Structure 1
Amino acid sequence: MAKSASLQVLVNACLDGLVATQTLSPRQWQVCHHVRDCRTAVLGGFALHCDQCDAEALCYHACRDRHCPRCQRQASEAWCARQRAALLPVTYHHLVFTLPSALNGWIEVHPKQLYDLLFETVWTTLSAFGANPKRLNGQLGMTAVLHTWGQTLTRHVHLHCLVPGGAFSATGQWHPAKSTYLFPVRALSRHLRGGFVSRLRQAVAAGELCRLTEPREIDRLLDTLMGTEWVVFSKPCLARSETVVDYLGRYSHRTALSDSRLLSFDGESVELSYKDYRDGDQRKVMMLSGEELLRRFLLHVLPKGFMRVRHFGFLANRCRAQRLPAIRAAIGAVQARPLAVMTTEPGTTGHPQPSKPFDGYPCPSCRGGQLRVRTALAPKRRDGG
């Protein structure tokens, strides 16, 4: 008989089977425990009481892990609101830089180093093109979000970048992009490839990739990478840049898998909904064992403290407060309105709304009263834990 499908159900049912065949890192264990305990008595919570119908309910604490599909909605909405408030009245460009799959083995053993190199190389590439006097002759701005997955949860490392279409010169002038594309993607691809492989060679020579121990295999792979065409995607956002901000925001504080994509689970196999981009973006369903889906999910656990979202150039956190007003003045735009505080009340759309004091949760029983906190619940020890 099929059970309700969620990542939490899969962790409870399949984690033991997975660890019997695969060794998990301490970080992967930690994420599994967080997902398993999220919104359960293990984390404690509150006992609620309706002020009209005397109904009672329990509300348990969330784990707040960015890999948990049930958490971080408020943080994601607040991030989107901050980015929308900082948008300039120019055409934005959505660029995607993808690492070749041949690097997946190195990413397995040195994820932080290679992810950092991807951020560094992408920004160095774009800033070099922007500073070129024959192109924009100024400083670019970039917001980048790291994705490590494809629709079927296999490892597919790529960086989504949102770049305003222009550059801010040292003399305080705004130089708009000269065409509907920002830079030629083939030239970007070649520059990215050369820069990334060069940085890999330097990292190997400096001993920063210490788990790679076969010099011949290292040289063979680096030579293979230089002979591969790297994929770079670029598209102008001619309509609404807010849509790309919202797209990036869905994954700014969360990971690849949402519970809505898990259609059914019979205790052994799970149905996963995915979009097939190679077949006209059709929505399809694939069947995986519970252990295999959990294994794929854990491929995308990030190193502890790793920053998945980063800002560069005139959008960097250290200078955006000064640079954005100067850029708006340079292009004759009015100042953006102050950012409102986000709320998470039911029925909100995720756009900025004025905050108001918390007054309890609407009672689902009488629909007229408010569920208010009656007492705090201490965390409970998990059975067998």
Structure 2
Amino acid sequence: MCIGSPCVMARAQRLPIWSGHWRWRMNEPTHIQYLLQHYLDDRVERYTLDSHRLKVCRHLLSCHTPVLGGIRYQCDHCHSQVPQYHSCRDRHCPQCQGRASRRWSERQQRDILPVNYYHLVFTLPHRLNGWVQLHPECLYAQLFQVVWNTLKRFAADPRRLDGKLGMTAVLHTWGQNLSQHVHLHCLIPGGVLKQNGQWQPSRGSYLFPVRALARHFRGTMVSALRHSANTHQLHRIGSTEVERCLDQLMQSDWVVYGKHCLNHTHSVVGYLARYSHKIAISERRIIDVNQGQVCFRYKDYRDNQDKVLALESSEFIRRFLMHVLPRGFMRIRHFGLLANRCRKGALERIRQCLEVSAEAVDEHNEQPLIQICPKCRKGHLIPTGVLCPVWQPVTLEPG
């Protein structure tokens, strides 16, 4: 293929560019790439690392590098050749979430209603962290279903809203210090669709009493886990441990946190985007990597203060990889009125009740930006060719 030919130019021009500037990384890996390059081998030798996590590591290591190929650009002023390498698009990659979050938010924009929205957070007790490591897919799936069943039951109660609710839920598995802290963020339109097809708005700053939600959440989750154990879905956990742990959990207080409602429709999408594609840690939180230690910022919610934590590189990698989700697991889910099978019809009916029309969303607003040359800072970058992937041998093997 001839460099600069019309087909190469067309292929290069079709690549969407989201940010106003590019992060050129021809010789400069990110902090996480550096850590994986230098310390992942030790991690593989010391611990058993499954093939799925190793695959994620390979994706992160190859992101924005020649391994994935890319597009060659040339400055129209200084004529410098500047490569831009493709991203890995792995959902655990710190470099790839900005674009994914923006695209997802734009798709959700058409579904936002001109009503109050409520944000609830359901937290899984830390006593279950060991179970999560042994059976992550089962525990995460149970969390989604139990939270939805709890909210659905409260919404259907004739003493409350007496109708069908909608919910978008996002799974997070981490705390600010990268510890295991499994919780579900739920964004809920403030109201229900009643059986007669009328919209019933919610009242007050909070959707439901959080203490009542927490008690019902606890009982339903414990029952679901006991059923999973009885049907051999938790086969890696002994029956004695199951009964002892569940009995203890029934005696403890569970945490459900409710935030004030959002009453600005246009801020809802941006608010949800903060949680939709968030990962365990972003590059900007990492302050320094030096002499086998990683220093990063975190917020301590016990005293609401910003602090700095230093971890050994191997411990940082262990905590980071602990939050890799099971292969194919959906961490963003829609329920009730917002479920895929009935969302369109339900939203149309609600808008009829509210006497509003759906806002038009431009689905073709992704335009390539004119990029300034990073070398001369004067000229513009013009795509001139495709860079083929440079394959490298894989040396990491699962333990």
1:39 aligns with 2:64: yes
Structure 1 Cα separation of the partners of residues 171 and 188 of structure 2: 15
The match for 1:231 is: 255
Query: Could you say what the CA RMSD is over the residues aligned between the two structures, in angstroms?
Result: 2.0
1:269 aligns with 2:293: yes
Q: CA deviation at 1:23?
A: 1.1
Q: CA deviation at 1:251?
A: 4.0
Structure 1 Cα separation of the partners of residues 206 and 395 of structure 2: 58
Structure 1 Cα separation of the partners of residues 136 and 394 of structure 2: 34
Structure 2 Cα separation of the partners of residues 203 and 138 of structure 1: 29
TM-score (norm 2): 0.87
The DSSP-based 3-state class of the residue aligned with 2:220 is helix
Does the 8 Å CA contact 1:143/1:311 hold for their aligned counterparts?
A: yes
Structure 2 Cα separation of the partners of residues 35 and 167 of structure 1: 42
The match for 2:151 is: 126
Does the 8 Å CA contact 2:156/2:164 hold for their aligned counterparts?
A: yes
Structure 2 Cα separation of the partners of residues 200 and 241 of structure 1: 37
Given the superposition, is the C-alpha separation of residues 131 and 113 from structure 1 closer, same or farther in structure 2, using an over 3 Å criterion? Answer: same
Does the 8 Å CA contact 2:117/2:263 hold for their aligned counterparts?
A: no
The match for 2:313 is: 290
Structure 2 Cα separation of the partners of residues 184 and 268 of structure 1: 47
Structure 1 Cα separation of the partners of residues 139 and 114 of structure 2: 34
TM-score (norm 1): 0.90
Q: CA deviation at 1:225?
A: 1.0
The match for 2:344 is: 321
Does the 8 Å CA contact 1:5/1:264 hold for their aligned counterparts?
A: no
The match for 1:311 is: 334
Q: CA deviation at 1:246?
A: 2.7
Given the superposition, is the C-alpha separation of residues 132 and 359 from structure 1 closer, same or farther in structure 2, using an over 3 Å criterion? Answer: closer
The match for 1:89 is: 114
Match of 1:143 among 162, 168, 174: 168
The match for 1:260 is: 284
Structure 1 Cα separation of the partners of residues 332 and 94 of structure 2: 18
Q: CA deviation at 1:293?
A: 0.8
The correspondence of residues 1-385 of structure 1 with structure 2, limited to 5 A, is 6-212=31-237, 214-240=238-264, 242-243=266-267, 245-280=269-304, 282-332=305-355, 334-341=356-363, 354-356=365-367, 358=368, 361-364=371-374, 365-382=376-393
Letter in 1 for 2:199: W
Q: CA deviation at 1:239?
A: 4.2
Given the superposition, is the C-alpha separation of residues 5 and 73 from structure 1 closer, same or farther in structure 2, using an over 3 Å criterion? Answer: closer
Q: CA deviation at 1:286?
A: 0.9
Q: CA deviation at 1:172?
A: 0.9
Q: Deviations over 1:73-130 (max 9, x none)?
A: 2221021223233221111110000000000000001001000000000000101111
**Which segment drifts farther, 179-188 or 155-164?**
179-188
Given the superposition, is the C-alpha separation of residues 190 and 105 from structure 1 closer, same or farther in structure 2, using an over 3 Å criterion? Answer: same
How many residues in Structure 1 have an aligned counterpart in Structure 2? 368
Specify every segment of 5 or more residues in structure 1 that has no aligned partner in the other structure, as ranges. 343-353
Structure 2 Cα separation of the partners of residues 56 and 170 of structure 1: 64
Given the superposition, is the C-alpha separation of residues 366 and 156 from structure 1 closer, same or farther in structure 2, using an over 3 Å criterion? Answer: closer
Identity %, equivalent residues: 48
Structure 1 Cα separation of the partners of residues 200 and 275 of structure 2: 31
Given the superposition, is the C-alpha separation of residues 5 and 359 from structure 1 closer, same or farther in structure 2, using an over 3 Å criterion? Answer: closer
Specify every segment of 5 or more residues in structure 2 that has no aligned partner in the other structure, as ranges. 1-27
Structure 2 Cα separation of the partners of residues 220 and 284 of structure 1: 36
The DSSP-based 3-state class of the residue aligned with 2:115 is coil
The DSSP-based 3-state class of the residue aligned with 1:153 is coil
Q: Deviations over 1:200-228 (max 9, x none)?
A: 1111111111211x211110001011111
Letter in 1 for 2:223: S
Given the superposition, is the C-alpha separation of residues 367 and 317 from structure 1 closer, same or farther in structure 2, using an over 3 Å criterion? Answer: farther
